[in-house]
Chains A and B, each alone.
Chain A
């Protein structure tokens, strides 16, 4: 009997270890335990450069809250608010007519924000920042997205059409890097994986990046879309860690088979 109890405990422990997201820093780069202060650029501001993720990769970094362990956004027993949970009634009604097969990411179209509540990831689970005093470059892996964020105080550009990832400008608020993004197209969703989350071209995202030490990056965000939402969506704070590799991958996207599969499945599921 005692052995069975121990077996039981062991099974549960192993299961939870794989389901639970790793804690920040758990799988960070060698030396993470002795993380020093955030490195700084020549101008004295924190250097955000690095490959950032939730502490592990696909196949391990899954489960509650996803990589980084999204926290906040609701009390005990209250699910965190999502973008779609704040839809106006007419928008919510229209969203109910959409489903998994309508997800633009099936056609290799990126998200406007990010599935794991991390814009730096887009639809993946890892992103890279290359920072200089004049420009911060944010690179996403899965769909090859990028954002070029000037830091010299210039306004948003007015000479380009709306884009999947919008147009970003940045500024420093003490040691916090604030990124303001507008000029989005309205043919993307906020998230992927069939989470119905269309938005309008009035989407406005303000993110605050803070490298709290050498291995830890905290990100907070506020998402406004007055045409679609009853109030701004305050994104739960995400805590990322430095990945133990120094570059993301470049892999193609076709999505042809996946889209066809989802279309066929939709016909089986709903008859249309």
Chain B
């Protein structure tokens, strides 16, 4: 039974992931490598709540102190806002941790945002803070 539960869980999550991807204004699967998760910590330098998709830009410092600019693609801004996100919530200088998936082009510091966590522990997903689990 445990195996069955795991299979159903896997099926459910796969369905949810497909549903989220199916919604996007472009194919996330075409642009990002879902087998290449990435996590970065850094300082927000710009948030663009723009169509077709929102973008978060941040500076990430590595162990040697070198700073690299990363960008993460998120959801459609109107959907994010109706799901609880606000333009004033995250601005320049905000410390965040972003988990996502790396772009298929390995030379780019670009990812698809799966989860953004602020210093106080607030978690935002691809489509905002009050999204359903299907958007994860």
A-side residues, CB < 8 A to B, are 1, 4-5, 7-8, 11-12, 14-15, 18-19, 57-60, 62-63, 66, 99-100, 103, 105-106, 108, 123-126, 141-143, 192-194, 245, 248-249, 251-255, 257-258, 261-262, 264-269
B132 contacts A60, C-beta separation under 8 Å: yes
B133 at the interface (CB under 8 A from A): yes
Beyond A8-B8, A257-B73, whether A18 also contacts B16 by CB under 8 A is: yes
The CA-CA distance from A103 to B27 in the complex, in Å, is 10
A18 contacts B133, C-beta separation under 8 Å: yes
A255 contacts B103, C-beta separation under 8 Å: no
A254 contacts B104, C-beta separation under 8 Å: no
A21 to chain B: closest residue by CB: B19
Chain B residues closer than 8 Å to A59, beta-carbon distance: 75, 79, 83, 125-128, 130-132, 134-135
Can you give 28 contacting A-B residue pairs, CB < 8 Å?
A: A14-B133, A15-B15, A15-B16, A18-B132, A19-B15, A19-B16, A19-B134, A57-B82, A58-B78, A58-B80, A58-B127, A59-B131, A59-B132, A108-B51, A123-B25, A142-B51, A249-B81, A251-B49, A253-B50, A253-B52, A255-B52, A257-B55, A258-B53, A262-B30, A265-B31, A265-B32, A265-B103, A265-B104
B77 at the interface (CB under 8 A from A): yes
B105 contacts A108, C-beta separation under 8 Å: no
A193 contacts B1, C-beta separation under 8 Å: no
Determine which of B9, B32, B50, B127 lies in contact with A252 in the assembled complex, contact meaning CB atoms within 8 Å: B50
B122 at the interface (CB under 8 A from A): no
Give the A-B contact count at a CB cut-off of 8 A. 165
The CA-CA distance from A125 to B32 in the complex, in Å, is 24
B108 contacts A62, C-beta separation under 8 Å: no
A11 contacts B76, C-beta separation under 8 Å: no
CB distance from A182 to the nearest CB of B (A): 27
CB distance from B11 to the nearest CB of A (A): 8
Per-position 1/0 for B12-51, Cβ under 8 A of A: 1101100110111111001110000000000000001111
Chain B residues closer than 8 Å to A125, beta-carbon distance: 79
CB distance from A96 to the nearest CB of B (A): 16
Per-position 1/0 for B112-129, Cβ under 8 A of A: 000000000000011110
B110 at the interface (CB under 8 A from A): yes
Chain A residues closer than 8 Å to B63, beta-carbon distance: none
B26 contacts A141, C-beta separation under 8 Å: no
Pick the 8 closest A-B CB pairs, nearest first: A58-B79, A15-B12, A59-B127, A18-B134, A59-B131, A253-B51, A59-B135, A264-B105
Beyond A58-B76, A248-B78, A253-B51, whether A264 also contacts B103 by CB under 8 A is: yes
